[in-house]
Amino acid sequence: MSAARLLMTALLVSILLAGCGFHLRGTQSLPEDANYVVIRSVEPHAPLARSLDKRLEVYDIEGGSNYPTEAQQSFVVIELLPEQLERRLLSVFSTGQVAEYELIFGVRYKVTFPGQQPIPAYFEILRDYQDDPDQVLAKSRELDLVLDEMRREAADRIIRRLPSQATQTVPVQ
């Protein structure tokens, strides 16, 4: 393939992507007028709150469970409501014991941006989980690992949703 043809192909792909509204996600997850995230939880020491606090570091966002000490800082408040975990039966062994579950991890929270009304949000994360009654201890540990992974994914999703939630805010009156 010649260099000119390769250049024309790249140019055409770029025009098509720009024309359909595609754009790369930025690294900035907070609106410009906020520079700190406060994590509040209805349950003290909630695992999701700890996971969210750790994930803020990965996204290079300042935050934590304490309000900032400097009064001039504007902050976003994420209030986590109790997490929900449900199990839906998917299959059973010939003996009638449960072989496989679908785990449904429900996350409810409210986000409050500076000078705005709180925005309630909810989403679910689904995972299949195979149960083995002969290996109860190993399966218990595996369930803990799956729940930790689901909480990490939930924290990532909360952080990635912040920019779109910032655009749908309603001023406090």
pTM passes above 0.85: no
pLDDT of residue 169 exceeding 80, the answer is no
pLDDT of residue 125 exceeding 70, the answer is yes
pLDDT top residue among 111 and 43: 111
Task: Give the whole-angstrom CA distance, residue 84 versus residue 154.
Answer: 12
Count Cβ neighbours within 10 Å for each residue of 128-144 and write b for 16 or more, e otherwise. Answer: ebebeeeeeeeeeeebe
Task: Please give the pLDDT value at position 127.
Answer: 92
Alpha carbon distances (Å) from 57 to 30, 60, 155: 13, 5, 11
User: pLDDT above 70 covers what percent of the chain?
Assistant: 82
Whether 32 contacts 76, CB under 8 Å: no
pLDDT of residue 92 exceeding 60, the answer is yes
Query: Which residues have CB under 8 Å from 112's CB, separation 6+?
Result: 76, 77, 79, 118, 119
Task: Please give the pLDDT value at position 1.
Answer: 60
Name all domains of the chain by residue range, CATH numbers in brackets. 28-166 (3.30.160.150)
Model confidence pLDDT, tens digit, residues 145-154: 999 999 999 9
N-to-C CA span, the chain: 62
User: Packing angle between helix 47-58 and helix 136-166, nearest 10 degrees?
Assistant: 60
DSSP 67: P
